[in-house]
Amino acid sequence: MSAKSSFFAKIRAAALALGRSERTATRKARLLASASFSDFTRLTPEQNVKLGYSPKARHYVLKTVRRVTKATPTISARQVETKRARELYKLTPEQATKARRQGAIRYTSADQRERVAKAAITREENKVIAEIKKLRASGETVPSNSPDQRRHGRFYSITPDAERRYRDVRRRKLAGEHIPDGDWQQFIDYARRLKDPQYELLRGSPAAFGFSLIA
């Protein structure tokens, strides 16, 4: 199944789930599948809530839609990006992202560059948090490299709060915030144990990026 036919099938299925007839669902799916990425506009926070999404959700409707209702067909940000990458570069979103990193494709805006960077950091973060859960479930500990092991001990037990604390300190550190020595030492020991992809960056002092992942 090609990407275009897969897109059509997903839209058609969504329309059928909303109670549309086979004929109407097929017509709506064809309309959205054939439209260019530039024919869509993002829903406002109010429209998102009206359709049952969170205010910050990234869903799109055709620009020609005059009134958004629960029956209005929408597509996701992923589907818009798939259309964009295919139309502009004949690539998948993943291939386009790789090409941008290599400098073969330019970012369309500074905002897109920032969003891509944030998404990459968030994916890394989620993988690290999943590793913390796995270690805690197996009863493992984190070795301490503190120069004062009489005070901090030789290892840290992985507590239920470890995931939240690690995520919080990691985001603060990447945003350039100073972390107190005690918290920093434990955090870095965790980062080393978890093989955090940003370990070398996190153990340094300067701010890592010019944006914050803290909501």
Of the three residues 80, 101, 122, the one that is the final residue of a domain is 101
State the amino acid at position 51 in one-letter form.
L
DSSP 78-138: HHHHHHHHHHHHSS-HHHHHHHHHTTSS--S-HHHHHHHHHHHHHHHHHHHHHHHHHHHHT
116 and 90 in a single domain? The answer is no
Domain limits at 97? 3-101
Spatial CA neighbour of 119 closest among 209, 52, 25, 49 = 209
Within a domain: 215: no
Q: Kindly state whether residue 214 falls inside one of the protein's structural domains.
A: no
pLDDT digits (tens, 9 = 90+) for 57-116: 999 999 999 999 988 889 999 999 999 999 989 998 889 878 877 778 887 777 777 777
Q: Say yes or no: 96 and 123 in one domain.
A: no
Q: What would the pLDDT profile of 23-60 be if each residue is shown by its tens digit?
A: 888 888 888 888 999 999 999 999 999 999 999 999 99
**Strand-pair partners of 40:** 62
Indicate the pLDDT class of residue 149, thresholds 50, 70 and 90. low
Average pLDDT, the chain: 83
Domain end position, chosen among 77, 101, 125: 101
How many residues would you count in the chain? 215
Say how far apart CA 70 and CA 173 lie, in whole Å: 42
pTM score: 0.53
Number of domains observed in the structure of the chain? 2
Whether residue 210 lies inside any domain: the answer is no
Q: Please check whether residue 213 lies inside any domain of the structure.
A: no
- Residue bearing the bigger pLDDT, 120 or 158: 158
